[in-house]
Chains A and B, each alone.
Chain A
């Protein structure tokens, strides 16, 4: 405050022209002159920038639509064109700059894919990479492990993968804040409803096709296609029993297999046995026939032999007997292996014979 210059503000300008070439420089004015020059240059730069902005603005309307995209132009907020005409195909397109037109790009791709987020067990990245289901757990943690309840109150796992195409992009993008998410919800819902209609057996093994059809039906029920402007191209359903009881489930299939195998085997055995019995019975009968024939023939032969001998006997029975006895003795003596002859004692007393008879060595059995 001690340095204040006392310059009066109301100084009357003196009517004198300063000598040419003689500039009165006051230190203060140079400062303000520099300031104004600086400001002037700044304005110049600003003008340039403005011009550039305007040019850029006008030409910002030209844009390209990439190959896997389509675009919709909103003029003052309303889409230009109705239905299919609203959709701009890939290529070079023109629109007015913002705020007149707004370009909304929608990626279509050929096909989008969506996978359900309910009903499948929790897989870490390793599990996914290895392709095997995770370790068995004793319980399922809500919020982490997904599963569905089947009609018989059992727990099953199911997963749906949907491939779909957006056919009405205006509907899909402008009516829904997050169309993919809404579709996901509907898919999850369809899975839950379908699972409640099938027993666990049917869903996992026996009736998989019907299960898939049920999911499709429930999706159609929520009129998903017209409502969302999409077309579902493919729906792929995977089902699985919970890891903990998988062996038991597989065991049932195996047991069914075993059952039919046992029956088939038994039937085969039965047939074989019957065949064998038939054969055997035939042979029994045949042997019976042979034996009976044999019997008759033998008797017949003996009867003929008897008839032949009969007259001789009748003629002289005693002689016949002796003759035939002697004949027999001859044969017997000849055939006998050992013959012992015990002469009589002169006094006619009896002898004592000690016969040592040993056992026959056992013959080996002929098999």
Chain B
């Protein structure tokens, strides 16, 4: 029997190619996004690890301290520690060159007077060429570059190369080459090596270094040496294995990973619904066939099995296609994600070659198979339960079915309310997998209540369509409302697709609104000068001299130089913002959400207290007055929390302290931003020009007014959500395909009805109008249901993705105007999708259609 039923299914595929393509596409799309995001996430994390491990060379331990670095004096401490075999001080600078495309070059400052055994891969015999070692060491502008970099730009010995450094544009002279392996192959070989003293001088690092790479002697284990070094060094200086250091950085990009995971989950729901839609349509198409099969003796189980087997086969085929498409998608996505991690987190990573992960591929195949079988389970069950007598009977006896039963509606409502309540009252850290259940409950609940929504929607639309479009409008609405089996799946596909679009848009708008609110409160200066185009740069900072030049400009009323640092706090990498707190409170008097501004200002200005972001307080359960202990290169200190504010720079939290503390404990006088309030009457545009003039040829600077800065931050958010925008387009595309499919099936199913319509005097144009209006009616209800679900999903995203993942308090701002904008778009898409089916309907041969069985 299985063979015979399989044959029937294959014949169905031949007859209904579009449905087959759409189903396979649905599965492929879901699997592709799942596989692409898994691969992207892994590649991002692998890239972080690989970059760190390659840069570490043979080092078994690394000594680091946030991104400000630490005093090179600690090198003596390290070298004097028993068990240290080799120890190399390193500075790392990502410099922008003036070569074609403004290529970035990682400049490693190494002690070229040592034999650099830790990095012997790069410099092993025969691989390194330094024609004149004496010239290399005696000239501060000497740089050796990897062969790959040299070949790419045709650099020869003695060639000059300009780079943007902290104090302007400097020229370097190429005086050596090394192999593009190990540390020399990160960033696709864009690596140069300078003597560490020259690098410190050129890049304004003073006597600070970024890390010390260490190998242990044979008589001590790595762990023992780690403990011994940790005991010798201050708390703020970390000793860790290179691989574990990667893990720590990995947590910095956890929000990217979480965000992508949630998005892939939502995308998968859309695709699962498309599969459900497709199989529901298949059931409608094969109504009579199922009746005949049942009549000639095929069991319920046999019918159900036929559908499930079809779903399983399509699941495997679709998943295989999805894995291939997903791999291509990951190739595009990884570039975007690496760019985001660098711009937002300052994590420059070497893009690791995309590797095809067979485990993920197998997982994706299994997930695709399960999803398609589960999505088809409902229609398969319904097919099995079909009453053969009804199925064989003519069209007029086909009832509405029990899709809007009260238990189903109640269950749906319970699911929706339950999902929303869980979202509202969830506690932080409950776990991503559990939280995903909340949104799943909301989706399932909305799908269960969909027949009721269609019923009420139909009742609302009926008089309106009747009034506006006459009998054709009336029939269109009735056709939609009276065929809940067919309509619900399409409205559902539209609903889920549009809900995805609305919720993503709402999430982005909410994030932007929250950020804007925060920027208005905490960064409300007239002019903001930044040292880099990234939110955080470890390379470009303003020196104290530069800062003073800007401060001395006429028209400056209040001046606050800010240093942005990243430090390790109990295993998390958090942001530290060092302000002139007195000036900061003058510029942003409404800064605090919690705490007394006057006392907070006085205490922080004296360096006797800190402000913390709300997400940091939430994460560590801190209240006003609680102490915060910070480990610094100069030792630990503990200060009370005297104020809290919403601040969205870091998912792990932000601490605000006075610049005097930062200078004292981090021995760092640089700054990354300068906030300026101008004296009354000073023109902002004129002042911006003065800043450019005073820094011309000296230092790169990016000057913004408050509004310009907000626009720039908004563009960063858009970068962060670039992948989400892509998925929104895909969701609309999928929903349009679903609608087109439904309309084709609707016309197919209603051949006889359309024939009757024509027989009693319906013109061809009236048939076209009727079919198009049905599509419009479906799309309008899909839009309404999508908007409602979108609000629920947005509430979920705001409360989960933002609050639980990062502890951010983001107020839901739903872009209601978007619904108004979506209305004509959805109608156009609906009309476009239904045009061909409508023309097909108009061309029906009436005699054949009336006789159609």
Say if A and B assemble together. Answer: no
Q: Which residues of A contact B (CB under 8 A)?
A: none
